[in-house]
Amino acid sequence: MYSQGYTAEYSIGYGNYQLKDIKSIQKSMVGNYGLKITDCFPDNYTHTVTLGYLTGTNNFGFQMSYLTTGGRLHVADYSGSYVTDMYMNGYRLGGFYRSLIDTGLKPCQFYLQIASGVMISSLRIQEKMTIYNESQEVTTRLSGSGTYIEPSLGFSFRLAKICRLSAGVGYEIDIPNYMYYDNQKTDVKANWNGVRFYGGLTFIIPEKTN
Amino acid sequence: MLVGCEYSPMGENIIDLKTPDKNIPVAITLNNVNPADTIYVYQTTSVTIQIKSTKSLVKAEVMLNNNVFATISQSFLSFDLIPGQLADGVYKLSVNANFTSGTGSLAEQMGMEQYSGGLSWTIRVISHPENYFKADYRLNKEGYLEYYWSNKVPPSCIDRYEIHSGLSQPADTVITDPEKTSFVDYGFECGYTYCQITTYLKGGFGFTQSVSITKPTPKIYAEYIDLKHFRVYWEKSYANARYKLTVGGNVIATDVNDTSYVVPQIFGAGQAVNVEIRPRNKAYDNIYNKYTAYTNYFLGSSLGLGNWPLFAYNKKDNILYSTTYGSLVAINATTMKQINYMSIAGHPWGLAYGGKLATAPHNSTVLAMTGEETWIYSDSYFNNPLLISSVKGDVNTHLSALTSDDRFFVVPNGTSTCNVYSSITGIKLFDIPFTYNTIYTFPEFVGVSENGQYFWAASENGIEVFEVIGTTTQLIYTDTRFYKGALSVPSHPDQIICRVGQAIEHRHLPDFSLIQSMDVTTYGAVLCNVDPGTMNFLYHQNDSLRVCNVNDFSKTIFQIRSDERTCKIYNNKVLTFGLGPIYIDITPYLNNWK
């Protein structure tokens, strides 16, 4: 076991997203010209990359995550269609600290992790109206930032000397700020609160071997 | 890499709807006016537009010349068209309406699926229709005066016309057929009239045009045709008329349409000729449309002298002497042009109230008797007259004669004496008393032969013929027959023409033997005179003046209708004594008068 070294990890996750204000926007559009919600910001995959330093049972470093989900309002008849697609993306940039706990069941280890940083959110609303042979498309963009903190726990399984398989579960708590539209502050906040499930591979570049 | 991981929204909401019909029924009405008709706006006009359809109205736009001035969201719109707010001209009022399709489709909701329909009307604004109301007149095909008019406002907007023509129509006329734009005035033929034509539009607004007409009263003319006829003709009146022709107080034709008539001649007096012009239809007669055209006609030529002239003729000089007012006038007896003129004043009468003129048969002496004295001139130059102040004359002087033995015979009115003077010295030589005085001054009853040898006095009681020997006289013949005149015969001092009993007798002196006689039992006769120049004898019989050679009473060589019995003939000019001395030269007609 390496007691000291650099770590790089990629994990794919799956989570749900509260996005209360964003969903409210979508709901407010229901009924316009017969629009109905056909997709409403479902649970979706996450992608996380971390770069850290391992020393003993402590692992800490930088973390970047990409969260994405969306929604759709749609109506169509003989004369044309009207669709409003909402693309919601989140970019987390922060740090993490992971404390490894030796279970005695080698090669498995448990860990507790706390991560925190900046959450940058963007909402792209694409409206497309097609009536007979004429169509028109309008895109609206909102963006905003906030902070997040995500405590989690998990375990890792040593696959090789420098590679470990890990899995965990956490809960993201956002402290969002209002989003901006065209430099104008709105009443909308992007709140990504929700449970996160992760599974990934951790590569370790040892600095010193015990 | 992240873009490829972005979430893609999904799902569809497809609604199955029925596609709309191609056409729907729509009704757009504007005051129930057919769009093919023109709407005339000449006063404030309320307009109501109504739109009906099976589909819901989205919006309708009312446009005036493609400019939207009102929007209709309900099914109707009311507004006023006010002429003063719109310039005169033609406008296009359009209503374009959009209706829902009713399908509820996206296209309908987006306003991209609608039914559209529209109608337009032509509007003609005439803010002052009275300015376009024109009226005039003309002659119609039948020849009557016809007023006609035109309006810019169409007949459909006109209620009636009222015609007022107070000078030619008995009452106003109302025309209720707006299509009729003319009116025949049967009461006008010429002169002046006027007509007020009023157009009343529906709604009561009315405006009037006046037409004045002045057409001259036709001129009337008279022209010579021959000795027995002359023609009267006149211009036709502007419009049809009927005419009444009066000549010399006699109605020649009444209610006729002709404008030319041949009228019998009558010599001796001017004849007033007039034609009365009235409407052809008597029903239209009134005091205003009665006109009269006048002219005057006489046969012969005027001497241009005053009324009641005296005459005397000097054969030697071929000069006719006459009078005009207070003047003695010498006239060339061929040309009938005045050659000299002498005013003879008196106190108070002068020649203006003079008696007789006389000329000497053997020289140029001429004598004029005024109201106060007698003037004797040696010739027509009227120089150095001999004044016989004791001898005055008047129109009733029975005799005033110069004889070739330079004597002046005068028989004043109311006397039975002939005074004989020397025409050279003016000294009275002797008197000739006679018995048979006459009360008549015309024709001549008392006379003397040219050479002064014989003097006679005739009356209704008889005749006395004296032979003058020196300064004495001798009665050579007398009888008690009924005489109506006795004339001397120029150049034949031994002859006398008498109108006696039922005949005209031509007798020889001193034996008073009969040369010839003409029976005038049927019509009688009035003696005039014997022309010293031509020896033609003029007398009046029945209704005519007749001329024959003094030597042949049986052959009338000239005759002309006349009522004048006081005419004279000198050098073949027959002269009137009456109103306005006129004459006719009978030379061209001698033996050709029929």
pLDDT in tens, B127-147: 889 999 999 999 999 999 999
| Nearest CA distance, A74 vs chain B (angstrom) | 5
State the best of A78, A84, A86, A91 to mutate against chain B, taking most chain B CBs within 10 Å: A78
| Nearest CA distance, A46 vs chain B (angstrom) | 9
Q: What is the DSSP letter of B235?
A: P
State the best of B3, B6, B7, B15 to mutate against chain A, taking most chain A CBs within 10 Å: B7
**Alpha carbons B457 and B476: distance in angstroms, whole number:** 12
Residues in chain B with CB shorter than 8 Å from the CB of A13 are none
User: B 14-43 residues with CB below 8 A of A?
Assistant: 14-17, 19
pLDDT in tens, A134-175: 999 999 999 999 999 999 999 999 898 889 999 999 999 999
SS3 B324: strand
Position B307 scores a pLDDT of 79
Average pLDDT of B145-156? 93
Give the burial string for B356-386 (b: 16+ CB within 10 Å, else e): bbbbbbbbebbbbbbbbbbbbbbbbebeebb
pLDDT at B435 over 50: yes
φ/ψ of B310, rounded to 5, equals -95, 155
User: A 66-85 residues with CB below 8 A of B?
Assistant: 66, 68-72, 74-82, 85
| Cβ <8 Å between A76 and B12 | yes
Average pLDDT of A62-87? 96
pLDDT at B110 over 90: no
| Cβ <8 Å between B6 and A39 | no
| 8 Å CB contact between B537 and B554 | no
> Which chain A residue is nearest to residue B13, measuring alpha carbons?
A75
List of residues 6+ apart from A184 with CB closer than 8 A = none
Average pLDDT of B570-584? 87
| Nearest CA distance, A178 vs chain B (angstrom) | 23
> Which chain B residue is nearest to residue A65, measuring alpha carbons?
B2
| 8 Å CB contact between B580 and B307 | yes
Domain A14-78+86-205 annotated CATH 3.20.20.70: no
Tokens of B307: 């009324």
- Give me the domains of chain B, ranges plus CATH numbers: 26-125 (2.60.40.10), 129-215 (2.60.40.10), 220-299 (2.60.40.10), 365-589 (2.130.10.10)
| Nearest CA distance, A120 vs chain B (angstrom) | 14
ipTM for this model: 0.93
| 8 Å CB contact between B41 and B126 | yes
Position B455 scores a pLDDT of 97
pLDDT at B222 over 80: yes
> Which chain B residue is nearest to residue A41, measuring alpha carbons?
B9
Pairing of strands A80-102, B536-541: unpaired
| Cβ <8 Å between B107 and A76 | no
Position A210 scores a pLDDT of 45
Average pLDDT of B169-185? 95
pLDDT in tens, B258-269: 999 999 999 987
Position B348 scores a pLDDT of 83
**A205 in reach of chain B (CB within 8 A):** no
Nearest 5 degrees, angle CA B330-CA B334-CA B340? 20
Average pLDDT of B437-463? 93
Residues in chain A with CB shorter than 8 Å from the CB of B109 are 33-34
Give strand pairing partners of A115.
Answer: A96, A150
A-to-B residue pairs, Cβ atoms closer than 8 angstroms: 90
Q: The sheet that has B229-234: what strands, in order across it?
A: B220-224, B229-234, B260-264
Residues in chain B with CB shorter than 8 Å from the CB of A33 are 106, 109-110
Candidates B2, B13, B15; nearest CB to A38:
B13
Residues in chain A with CB shorter than 8 Å from the CB of B9 are 38-39, 70-72, 85-87
Tokens of B58: 């989205």
pLDDT at B1 over 60: no
Model confidence at B399, in pLDDT bands (50, 70, 90)?
A: very high
Position A15 scores a pLDDT of 95
**A161 in reach of chain B (CB within 8 A):** no
**Alpha carbons B451 and B409: distance in angstroms, whole number:** 11
Residues in chain A with CB shorter than 8 Å from the CB of B14 are 75-77
| Nearest CA distance, A57 vs chain B (angstrom) | 32
Q: What is the DSSP letter of B177?
A: -
List of residues 6+ apart from B152 with CB closer than 8 A = B126, B129, B132, B133
Percent share of chain B, pLDDT over 90: 74
**A18 in reach of chain B (CB within 8 A):** no
**Alpha carbons A141 and A202: distance in angstroms, whole number:** 36
